[in-house]
Structure 1
Amino acid sequence: MSAQNEVTFRLSRSRRSVPRARALVHAVLGNWGLNEDTVDSAELILSELVTNALRVPVPSDRQVGIRIARSPLDGLLRLEVSDAGPGRPEVRTPDDDETGGRGLLLVEALSHRWGVEERATGIGKTVWAELKAPDIITAPVTKEVAAAAVRPGQTVKSWGEWHTVINVRSEHHGATDPTVVLTLDEAPPLRVRATEPLAVRQRSGNDQ
């Protein structure tokens, strides 16, 4: 994932960190152009995860790690909160007279999926949640390139439809122009001159 698609920061173990986390995620997602519903859900989820992390009994000098990441290809927004404490948070259903304990119920309701994993480095754990955010999906870009420049994995337009290129090979017939043969998915092979321009579709920011 490219650097512009993720933001990381650390917060102190203070009550002020919850509203700060909400403000930070609001700013990041606003900069990414996400819709208001997604931003509101992300703020609620992150504030609950940070609140839970602050309740973990660890030394006061241990900070809480935050990571906000988007996946334009998948249309997913991922929120991560890391702390140095042991254990794994679990969803519980509090009694009607209890005033707390509903944080993970909210996270479960608002997110596409969520989970807990051990931190790759250091002690503690990371609690993460993913939201579906179709508005961050990168629109495909279409451009024309010479047939000889097409590579496997790209998508080309043939007979009015888009097909993924499985294989590319060249053919030489004496003094005539070289020919390129593209093996396509769910379509007959496409045989064209090497210099023939073809419409190629790819995701913005990809080097396909």
Structure 2
Amino acid sequence: MACRRSGENEVTFQLPRSRRSVPRARALLHAVLGDWGVGQETLDGAELVLSELVTNAVRVPVPSGRRIGVRITRSAADGLLRLEVSDAGGGVPEVRQPERDETGGRGLLLVAAVAHRWGYEARPGGVGKMVFAELKAPDLVAEPTECEVAAVMVRAGHQVRTGGAWRTVLEVRSDQHAAVGSAVLLLFDDGPALRARATEPLTVRTGPDCG
């Protein structure tokens, strides 16, 4: 899975077409919205919407090897959170009204109920489509603060600057290494892990108060 930040108001990442991508998308969304100071009510709605959009993208028939694109953006000025999920499949997303005994088919019905606005567009310069949903998020806050902390203080969901880029921490493990002694191993959403001494200072980006 690849993850990229464009500035401070946009996060994009790609996911394989697998059921496991649905909880992974929720986990990354949770980390991003935590950075942005979004409240629990908005977070719950955003997680529901993103889950349904990614689930639909996983199910749609596409050529072999294609991945799912996810883009999360915020507009603090407008109080809006926008979620976009793109896939290489055809067809037009439509809200269904399933019968009572049907167990599926309610995904877009839920999206329409939770979102302030939703729709779809053809993917520019490619095949397939992009489905978007916008949610009202008046609790969006300003850009997160960067600060320096000991490696042992880094937690999953933090952004760590390494190799000239910000990378999302997925997991932190304690590690004993002959060369550095007490250490931590940081596993990222993309690329190689980072082993650092427990007391080594790392530049992180968490929330507006760097907490």
TM-score range with shorter-chain normalisation?
A: 0.5 to 0.7
Report the Cα distance in structure 2 between the residues aligned to 1:11 and 1:88, rounded to whole angstroms: 21
TM-score scaled by length of structure 1: 0.64
Structure 1 runs (4+) deviating above 4 angstroms are none
Task: Give the percent of matched residue pairs that are identical in Structure 1 and Structure 2.
Answer: 72
Displacement of 1:130: 0.2
Asked if residue 46 in structure 1 is aligned to residue 50 in structure 2, the reply is yes
The 5 Å alignment of 1:110-149 reads 110-136=114-140
Letter in 2 for 1:21: A
- From 46, 62, 66, the equivalent of 1:62 is 66
Letter in 2 for 1:28: V
Displacement of 1:127: 0.2
Cα-Cα RMSD? 1.4
- The corresponding residue for 1:94 is 98
- From 35, 40, 58, the equivalent of 1:36 is 40
Report the Cα distance in structure 1 between the residues aligned to 2:98 and 2:56, rounded to whole angstroms: 15
For the 8 Å contact 1:75–1:133, the answer to whether it is kept is yes
Displacement of 1:51: 0.4
Q: Higher relative contact order by CA 8 Å / sep ≥ 6: 1 or 2?
A: 2
Q: Cα deviations across residues 15-34 of structure 1 (Å, max 9, x unaligned)?
A: 10001011110110011110
- The corresponding residue for 1:22 is 26
- From 66, 76, 82, the equivalent of 1:78 is 82
TM-score scaled by length of structure 2: 0.63
Q: How many equivalent residue pairs? A: 138
For the 8 Å contact 2:36–2:141, the answer to whether it is kept is no
Report the Cα distance in structure 2 between the residues aligned to 1:135 and 1:123, rounded to whole angstroms: 35
- From 3, 7, 25, the equivalent of 2:7 is 3
5+ residue gaps in structure 2?
1-5, 143-211
Q: Cα deviations across residues 27-55 of structure 1 (Å, max 9, x unaligned)?
A: 10011110001111101100000000111
Q: Cα deviations across residues 121-180 of structure 1 (Å, max 9, x unaligned)?
A: 211100000000011165xxxxxxxxxxxxxxxxxxxxxxxxxxxxxxxxxxxxxxxxxx
Q: Cα deviations across residues 58-94 of structure 1 (Å, max 9, x unaligned)?
A: 1231000000000111110000000001111100100
Q: Secondary structure at the match of 2:31?
A: helix
